[in-house]
Amino acid sequence: MENQKNPYRIYLREDQIPTQYYNLRADMPEPPEPMRLPDGTVAQFEHLAPVFADELVRQELDNETRYVDIPEGIREMYKVYRPSPLCRAYNLEKALGTPAKIYYKFEGNNTSGSHKLNSALAQAYYAHEQGLTTITTETGAGQWGTALSEAAAHYGLNCDVFMVRASYEQKPFRRSVMQTFGAQVTPSPSQETEIGRKMYADEANRSGSLGTAISEAVERALHVPENKGRYQLGSVLNQVVLHQSIIGLESLAAFDELGEYPDVVIGCAGGGSNLGGLIAPFMRDKLTGEKPDTRFIAVEPASCPSLTRGRYAYDFADTGQTCPLVKMYTLGNGFIPSPDHAGGLRYHGMSPIISKLKHDGYLDAVSVKQTDVFAAAEEFAKLETILPAPESAHAICVAMEEARKCAETGEEKVILFGLTGTGYFDMTAYEAFNNGTMVDHVPTDEELERGFATIPAVPGIQDAGGAPVA
């Protein structure tokens, strides 16, 4: 092959791990909308600090600082598993007969199995620096819970994980990994919190959702003695996108070494953190006019289509409606997604940064059905020898589509996608695909309307359902 001179995998040196995170908000023509309290006032430090660690609140609210130093205490752990490789999918290119060059940034080569560790380490570090004893969180598929359990173990913190009950039962080994790292794992809805008991009482809610598990974890954090507990979230928030910018920064450095630059950047989007991190420096180059033509594609499941069919409105980040309001593409905090196998993409909302970029026309979004996703995952696995997480396979599916288009047009586009994790704990899903029992659920308009009805009215901002107040 003509470009065979580029290696299959590019590993940067340890001293090329970024020393600063990049804050994309500083270069956005308009920043994402601020968090608000239910009465419509903009959330300030003092509103958020009881729930999140202080430094993380500062990062959350900071739309101006372009580059944020990564403390040595975090970098020393990044060195254990980073830089992650930028891989060239030569085998996939050949199988697709495409002139496109397909690259993927592989974040599954650490013990937690996904990109989530990048933010988990940062969040646990800042909690430890503040002298806190306990961090709490939710987990759906289990990747974030695993990452935070590892990070908590490293910094000597207690870790309380509320795991969506369906996953808790379907993925006993994922639960065991967290317990091995010392975390306390509770199925959600549980009997241990007020909101958990309320949700559990209704049979329909018993399999749980990320929104419910978030509410439980926040409630737990607020009850840790001596105010020594804080809640940590693995996606959606600006701070998480900031930490994940390390993915994009390393990708850009590797492309620099190759003398290449992507024409298309593709990522799966659950709450938007890997996508926001992967695209960060490339989007910067687009926004500053240096590389205006790069295309960005968010890929979400057709079963939980917040970006493609949701409303851009203020909504609660959690089902219990205890968190502040976030302006985002949302299906409504009461939307219950079908039990799709990509658990990490079953969230009603989306990062405010990704939402704003989509709303302002800088980013496209598409949705894909899970049977197509698993077909792509298996083709990829056979060719590239990595068994992808179902979430990551959403990006693979669309990267393959883009490469096939290039085969038709003859364009030699450079395609970059994020391979966020491995799927070794997702074998029930692969099994369902292999034995033909996997079904595609696409919500009807009526189902979506029921979710939209749970979007709250916000005084002076929007009516119930999310329509802006004139």
Interface with ligand PLP (CB under 6 A): 114, 140-141, 143-144, 235, 268-275, 344-345, 389, 391-392, 420-421
326 touches 48 (CB < 8 A) = no
Query: Nearer Cβ to ligand PLP, position 144 or 329?
Result: 144
Closer to ligand PLP by CB, 421 or 451: give it: 421
Q: How does DSSP assign 295-341, residue by residue?
A: EEEEEEETTS-HHHHSEEEEEESSTTS-SPEEEEEES-TT------S
Q: Which is nearer to ligand PLP, 207 or 274 (CB)?
A: 274
What order do you get walking across the sheet with 158-164 strand by strand?
184-188, 158-164, 134-139, 229-231
Query: What are the distances in angstroms from CA 33 to CA 59, 109, 232?
Result: 15, 34, 21
Closer residue to ligand PLP (CB): 93 or 300: 300
Q: How far is the CB of 215 from ligand PLP (least distance, A)?
A: 18
Note the residue count of the chain. Answer: 470
- Measured from the CB of residue 271, what is the shortest distance to ligand PLP in angstroms? 4
Question: For residues 14, 15, 16 and 17, what is the CA-based torsion angle, rounded to 10 degrees?
Answer: 70
C-alpha span between 92 and 71 (Å, rounded): 38
Phi, psi of 201, rounded to the nearest 5 degrees: -60, -30
The C-alpha atoms of residue 174 and residue 260 are separated, in whole angstroms, by: 38
Strand-strand pairing, 86-88 and 101-106 = antiparallel
CB 273 within 8 A of CB 300: no
Closer by beta carbon to ligand PLP, 166 or else 224: 166
- List, in sequence order, the alpha helices (H) in 181-287: 194-201, 210-222, 238-258, 273-287
Return the number of the residue (263 or 391) whose C-beta is nearest ligand PLP. 391
- Tell me the closest approach of the beta carbon of residue 65 to ligand PLP, in angstroms: 22
Give whichever of 247 and 400 is closer to ligand PLP, judged by the CB atom: 247
Name the residue number minimizing CB distance to ligand PLP. 344
CB of 146: closest distance to ligand PLP in angstroms? 9
Return the closest-CA partner of residue 35 out of 54, 63, 55. Answer: 63
In the complex, what is the shortest distance from the CB of residue 266 to ligand PLP, in angstroms, rounded to a whole number?
13
Report the C-alpha gap between 404 and 409 in whole angstroms.
Answer: 9
Q: Which is nearer to ligand PLP, 113 or 456 (CB)?
A: 113
Smallest separation (angstroms) from ligand PLP to the CB of 172: 17
For 30, the token pair is 């308009």
User: Is there a contact between 347 and 328 (Cβ–Cβ < 8 Å)?
Assistant: no
Biggest CA–CA distance in the chain, Å, is 64
Nearer to ligand PLP, 114 or 330 (CB): 114
Shortest Cβ 468–ligand PLP spacing (Å)? 26
Buried b (16+ CB within 10 A) or exposed e, 447-461: ebeebbebbbbbeeb
Q: Which is nearer to ligand PLP, 171 or 369 (CB)?
A: 171
Minimum separation from the CB atom of position 4 to ligand PLP (A): 30
In whole angstroms, how close is the CB of 187 to ligand PLP at the nearest point? 17
For the CB of residue 345, give the shortest distance to ligand PLP in the complex, in Å: 6
